[in-house]
Amino acid sequence: MKHVLYIVFMILVATFFWVLMNFFEAYKLENNVIPFAGLRLSTWLENFRSLAFLGIVICGFLSILWYLLGQWAFKFNYWNKKFRAIWCLFLVLTIIVTAILCFLTINLQEGTILVYIFYFINNFFTFYLGTLLFSPASVKYTPLGAEYVRHW
Partner 1 sequence: MSCFVIGVGGTGAKCVEALIHLCAAGLMPDNESLYALFVDPDGANGNLERARNTMSDYAKCCEENLGVTNLFKTSLAIADPDVWSPFGDEAKPTLGKFFHYNTLKEENQAAAHLFDVLYSPEEKETTLEKGFRGHPSIGAAVLASAVDFGNQVPWKTFRQSVEQSIGEGGIAKIILIGSIFGGTGASGLPTIARLIRNKLAGIQNVRIGGILVLPYFSFKPVEEGGIKAASEDFLTNTQAALLYYHQKATEHSENQEMDLRSFKTVYSLGEAQLSSMKTSSLGGQSQCNEPHFIELYSALACLDFFKEKDTADGYPMLAREQESSITWSDLPNYEELRLKLEQLTRFSYAYLTAYRPMLKNIAEGGSQYRAPWYIDFFKRAKLNLNDTTTRDSLKRIEDYCTSYLQWLANITASTKTPTVKLVDYNTFAERKINNEVIAVDLKKHGFDLNSFDNLLQSEKKEPDNGLNNLWARMCSAKVKDPNAVGVGRFFRALYDECGKK
Residues that bind partner 1 (CB under 8 A): 71, 75-80, 82-84, 136-142, 147
* Nearer residue to partner 1 within complex by CB, 71 or 112: 71
Kindly state the smallest distance separating residue 100's Cβ from partner 1, in Å. Answer: 30
Residue 131 near residue 143 (C-beta atoms within 8 A): yes
What is the rounded CA–CA span in Å between residue 138 and residue 119? 30
Smallest gap, in angstroms, from Cβ of residue 11 to partner 1?
Answer: 22
Report residue 110: phi and psi, to 5°: -145, 150
CB closer to partner 1 out of 23 and 76: 76
Nearest approach, Cβ of 77 to partner 1 (angstroms)? 4
Smallest distance from partner 1 to CB 147, Å: 5
116 and 99 in contact (C-beta within 8 Å)?
no
Nearer to partner 1 by Cβ, of 48 and 90: the residue is 90
Cβ distance to partner 1 smaller for residue 31 or 80:
80
In 3-state terms, what secondary structure has residue 17?
Answer: helix
What residue ranges in 7-146 does DSSP mark as E strands?
34-35, 108-110
